[in-house]
Chain A
Amino acid sequence: MNASLLDVEGLTVFLPVEGEERPVLRDVSLSIAAGEAVGLVGESGSGKSMTARAIVRLLPPGARTEGVIRYRGEDVGSLRGAALRALRTDVAMVFQDPRAHVNPVRTVGDFLTEGLRTHRRLSRRAAEERAVRVLDEVGIAAGARRLRQYPHELSGGLLQRVMIAAALLAEPRLLLADEPTTALDVTTQAEVMALLDELRRERELALLFITHDLELAAAVCDRTAVMYAGRVMEVRASALLHDDPLHPYTAALAAARPSLARRADRLPATPGRPLSAFEAPPGCAFGPRCAHARDACHERRPELLPLAGGQAACARAEELRGLLRDRNGKPVVSHDHA
């Protein structure tokens, strides 16, 4: 693998809540190579978005960070002023809700050309020409007319394409896509996802794709990291994630998703509720809900260790390998009552 574009090491983030500091991320480590697509999967509140925000230093005010984030070898935490803005143009972000993330009182053209005119000092005309070309690439025809329109005149799917176009116009090396299709309807989701994937490959862009959909991440990404309660539980080649998970949590996540291939009266649900990072017990964060947990799991937090070409943060990962799926390929969730 070529040198890392982005390296996150031991990232821990605390946010002030009612006067006390609460951790939202615990010891998150992640790396993305140039041109690589990495998925970041987890339930709501597991810290996916916070991880992306920490990378471009967009954390809420009062946040305290530990650990190191390196982008192209540079410590992101030490960047100030122009250097930080340069990082932010090199790492573009696509947000979940385009309706809220595009200024409603300015035209689509203003939104698309703002970066070009600010950073590249292009004239309005030159910037608009480029914007129209990129709009065409993201499948929006009659770009010149669209530039004069306001966000409320565009549908959600169209606006998300505009957001993607805006991200591409900055010619970034890394794209952070924070649930870019969650706010869209299902058919639009598929189109936008296919578009994002295609444009990324064409431009050899690295991608951090945040989603709660394990299968979607697997379809788009080379590798996928699974997060739970502010921690990375498993990192694995996407193709293997579903059929050969290393962590019981990943197996549970995969089992809870309805499948077209098999019929189920009831989807297997994981007992308990997802924990936030600050509620996590001293041992394994998933321990209280894990069917395979032993006493040792509740005492010591397992580290993220290399295993079978991936990484897993599970004390029993090695002995459980293969046991997390039964003979039919169906994930085993709670048969292990040793």
Chain B
Amino acid sequence: MASYLVRRLVMLAATLLVSSLVVFAGLSAAPGDPLTTLSGGRSLPPQTVALLVERYHLNEPFLVRYASWLGGAARGDLGVSIQLRQDVSALIAARAGTTLGLIGYAALIVVVAGVAAGLLAALRPGTVDTVVVAATAVVVAVPPFVAAMALIGVFAVGLRWLPALGDGAGLWDGVRHLTLPALALAAAAAAAVARITRTSVREELGREHVQTAVARGIPYAAVVRRHALRNAAVPIGTLTGMTVASMIALAAVVERAFGLSGLGATLVNAALSKDFAVVQGVSLVLVTAFVLVNTLVDVGAALLDPRITLGGRS
């Protein structure tokens, strides 16, 4: 296990390095000139231009700029937002809570609702199973922005149960404001998790080792929990982790739709106004989160299934 973890950590560091390069290079290759943004379209005197070029290191070679940016990032300094004249790190710290809350809330919905529905369908063939299969087949095809519109229409505008826009103040109000966005973000993922739970629990229930447990007189609920669900946890955990990782990107759409001031919304706004430092900083944070979640998924799968670490043993 230890050598497996070391290998995963090395891979994690390598992935992060490569993705940071891609983030930085992508922005450098994008059309548009930071100077135009800085000047707001006005023509500037040459000494001002020279000052700005020096301040933002605009005329240094690409690799030098990348190295100094990466070095700054490692120390928590992601530069200054051109548009907001604010420290990018501080900006990210202020907005990350909302996104983290949204994704955490959505992940909770995915795990609880997805596994419960899938387990129910696996254990109750017939009507319950058919209903779950049909419902998840529809929901799994609904992208978050469509789900957002539908949820706003029904629960915010129609029934007036929950607010449609804004972050809310305080814990309870914040949770109320996050409920619809989290549902929108979680719907398709929960349906996918329900389907994989149903299939893999069914498959495990048909396995010989489950028969052994039944033949030993273990109560059925314990057989389902300790053998079928426990073994199905490997594919369920992997899919859940992957969908949670994808939510990091999808959160931008949902945050915009519900007027939440999270990282995703910040990223979209910054991209629209060519605020390079913010785009780079937020992208780096999101990519890091994505890679971290995926590593956690792999480590989690190895913890759940001891056969996975086989490659690391002699």
Within 8 A of B (CB), among A82-102: 84-89, 92-93, 95, 97, 100-102
Judge whether A104 is part of the interface by a CB distance below 8 angstroms.
yes
- Shortest beta-carbon distance, B236 to chain A, in Å? 13
User: Residue of B at shortest CB range from A153?
Assistant: B306
Known contacts being A85-B217, A87-B217, is A58 close to B211, with CB within 8 Å? Answer: yes
B306 and A105: CB pair below 8 A? yes
Judge whether B293 is part of the interface by a CB distance below 8 angstroms.
no
Task: In the A-B complex, list the 10 residue pairs whose CB atoms are closest, starting with the nearest.
Answer: A88-B217, A85-B217, A100-B208, A89-B217, A103-B209, A150-B306, A101-B212, A93-B215, A101-B208, A115-B216
In the docked arrangement, what's the CA distance between A39 and B208, Å?
23
Known contacts being A58-B211, A118-B222, is A105 close to B307, with CB within 8 Å? Answer: yes
Q: Which residues of A are found within 8 Å of B231, using beta-carbon distances?
A: 103-105
A-B contact count (CB 8 A): 74
Judge whether B219 is part of the interface by a CB distance below 8 angstroms.
yes
CB contact between B214 and one of A88, A118, A170 (< 8 Å): that residue: A88
In the docked arrangement, what's the CA distance between A36 and B222, Å?
33
Known contacts being A58-B211, A95-B212, A152-B310, is A105 close to B219, with CB within 8 Å? Answer: no
Q: Which residues of B are found within 8 Å of A101, using beta-carbon distances?
A: 208-209, 211-212
Known contacts being A100-B207, A103-B227, A118-B222, is A56 close to B215, with CB within 8 Å? Answer: yes
A102 and B212: CB pair below 8 A? yes
Q: Which residues of B are found within 8 Å of A170, using beta-carbon distances?
A: 216-217
Q: List residues of A whose CB falls within 8 A of some B CB.
A: 56, 58, 84-89, 92-93, 95, 97, 100-106, 114-115, 118-119, 150, 152, 166, 170
List 13 additional contacts besides A58-B214, A89-B216; criterion CB under 8 Å: A84-B217, A85-B219, A87-B217, A88-B217, A95-B211, A100-B207, A103-B227, A104-B209, A106-B230, A118-B218, A152-B306, A166-B216, A170-B216
Within 8 A of A (CB), among B195-250: 207-209, 211-219, 222, 226-227, 230-231, 234
Judge whether B23 is part of the interface by a CB distance below 8 angstroms.
no
Q: How large is the interface on B (under 10, 10 to 19, 20 to 34, 35 or more residues)?
A: 20 to 34
A86 and B217: CB pair below 8 A? yes
Q: Which of A89, A92, A105 has the most CB of B within 10 A?
A: A105
Known contacts being A95-B208, A114-B226, is A104 close to B307, with CB within 8 Å? Answer: yes
- 7 A–B pairs (Cβ distance < 8 Å), ordered by A: A89-B216, A102-B209, A103-B231, A118-B219, A119-B217, A150-B306, A152-B310
A100 and B209: CB pair below 8 A? yes
- Shortest beta-carbon distance, A269 to chain B, in Å? 32
Q: Which of A88, A92, A97, A103 has the most CB of B within 10 A?
A: A103
Q: List residues of B whose CB falls within 8 A of some A CB.
A: 207-209, 211-219, 222, 226-227, 230-231, 234, 304-307, 310
- Shortest beta-carbon distance, A152 to chain B, in Å? 5
User: Residue of B at shortest CB range from A81?
Assistant: B219
Q: Which residues of A are found within 8 Å of B227, using beta-carbon distances?
A: 103, 106
Known contacts being A101-B208, A102-B209, is A88 close to B307, with CB within 8 Å? Answer: no
- Shortest beta-carbon distance, B122 to chain A, in Å? 14
Q: Which residues of B are found within 8 Å of A105, using beta-carbon distances?
A: 230-231, 234, 304-307
In the docked arrangement, what's the CA distance between A88 and B211, Å?
12
User: Residue of B at shortest CB range from A86?
Assistant: B217
Q: Which residues of B are found within 8 Å of A87, using beta-carbon distances?
A: 217
User: Residue of A at shortest CB range from B216?
Assistant: A115
Q: Which residues of A are found within 8 Å of B207, using beta-carbon distances?
A: 100
- Shortest beta-carbon distance, B3 to chain A, in Å? 16
User: Residue of B at shortest CB range from A99?
Assistant: B208
User: Residue of B at shortest CB range from A90?
Assistant: B217
Q: Which residues of A are found within 8 Å of B208, using beta-carbon distances?
A: 95, 97, 100-101
User: Residue of B at shortest CB range from A115?
Assistant: B216
CB contact between A114 and one of B216, B234, B306 (< 8 Å): that residue: B216
Q: Which residues of B are found within 8 Å of A103, using beta-carbon distances?
A: 209, 212-213, 227, 230-231
- Shortest beta-carbon distance, A137 to chain B, in Å? 19
- Shortest beta-carbon distance, B197 to chain A, in Å? 16
CB contact between A115 and one of B218, B307, B310 (< 8 Å): that residue: B218
User: Residue of B at shortest CB range from A58?
Assistant: B215
- Shortest beta-carbon distance, A110 to chain B, in Å? 8
- Shortest beta-carbon distance, B314 to chain A, in Å? 12
Q: Which of B207, B215, B305, B307 has the most CB of A within 10 A?
A: B215
Q: Which residues of A are found within 8 Å of B211, using beta-carbon distances?
A: 58, 95, 101
A114 and B218: CB pair below 8 A? yes
Q: Which residues of A are found within 8 Å of B212, using beta-carbon distances?
A: 93, 95, 101-103
- Shortest beta-carbon distance, B123 to chain A, in Å? 13
User: Residue of B at shortest CB range from A170?
Assistant: B216
A88 and B215: CB pair below 8 A? yes
Q: Which residues of A are found within 8 Å of B219, using beta-carbon distances?
A: 85, 118
Q: Which residues of B are found within 8 Å of A56, using beta-carbon distances?
A: 215
In the docked arrangement, what's the CA distance between A314 and B215, Å?
35
- Shortest beta-carbon distance, A104 to chain B, in Å? 6
In the docked arrangement, what's the CA distance between A170 and B310, Å?
32
In the docked arrangement, what's the CA distance between A104 and B230, Å?
11
- Shortest beta-carbon distance, A329 to chain B, in Å? 41
In the docked arrangement, what's the CA distance between A89 and B218, Å?
9
Q: Which residues of B are found within 8 Å of A88, using beta-carbon distances?
A: 214-217
Q: Which residues of A are found within 8 Å of B222, using beta-carbon distances?
A: 118
A152 and B307: CB pair below 8 A? yes
B307 and A150: CB pair below 8 A? yes
User: Residue of B at shortest CB range from A103?
Assistant: B209
In the docked arrangement, what's the CA distance between A272 and B226, Å?
47
